[in-house]
């Protein structure tokens, strides 16, 4: 039973438009959420995070929104660029339990020029 789910395995978007990636979780104990980006043949790299005490965090073109009541978070990329084409993983953790991350299945994003 996956505690973190990314229901869209893939997403295609035109360059310059907004990419919206979604993530749902079931464990109400999760209090820290992250997005990782992964290129082929490379390890995941940290992109952006949000604590459960916030509902929004922004870093340049990337914004993460958290809706605790719905147990849902989303990542907005605007404007999307061809270099954003990658697999994006949502992850969650219980901070008191350390850096043991629970990952979603990933969403492959393709940004078309």
Partner 1 sequence: NAGVTQTPKFRVLKTGQSMTLLCAQDMNHEYMYWYRQDPGMGLRLIHYSVGEGTTAKGEVPDGYNVSRLKKQNFLLGLESAAPSQTSVYFCASSLDNVSGNTIYFGEGSWLTVV
Q: Interface with partner 1 includes 102 (CB under 8 A)?
A: yes
Rounded Cα distance between 75 and 41, Å, is 23
Number of residues that bind partner 1 (CB under 8 A): 26
Nearer residue to partner 1 within complex by CB, 22 or 102: 102
Among residues 41, 60, 69, 70, the one that binds partner 1 under rule CB under 8 A: 41
Q: 95 by DSSP, 3-state: which?
A: helix
2: phi then psi, degrees, rounded to nearest 5 = -75, 125
* Sequence-distant (≥ 6) Cβ neighbours of residue 9 within 8 angstroms: 105, 106, 107, 108
Closest CA relative to residue 30, chosen from 88, 112, 107, 102? 102
Q: Interface with partner 1 includes 75 (CB under 8 A)?
A: no
Q: Interface with partner 1 includes 62 (CB under 8 A)?
A: no
Q: Whole-number minimum distance, CB 73 to partner 1, in Å? A: 13
Q: Interface with partner 1 includes 99 (CB under 8 A)?
A: yes
Nearer residue to partner 1 within complex by CB, 54 or 112: 54
DSSP 70: T
Residues making contact with partner 1 (CB under 8 A): 2, 4, 6, 9, 32, 34, 41-46, 49, 89, 91, 93, 95, 98-106
């Amino acid at each position: 039973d996956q505690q973190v789910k990314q229901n869209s395995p893939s997403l295609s978007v035109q360059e310059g438009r907004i990419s919206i990636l979604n993530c749902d979780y079931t464990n109400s104990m999760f209090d820290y959420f992250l997005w990782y980006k992964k290129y082929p043949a490379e390890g995941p790299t940290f992109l952006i995070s949000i604590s459960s005490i916030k509902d929004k965090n922004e870093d340049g073109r990337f914004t993460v929104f958290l809706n605790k009541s719905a147990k849902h978070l989303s990542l907005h990329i605007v404007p999307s660029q061809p270099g954003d084409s990658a697999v994006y993983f949502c992850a969650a953790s219980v901070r008191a339990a350390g850096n043991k991350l629970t990952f979603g299945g990933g969403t492959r994003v393709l940004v078309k020029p």
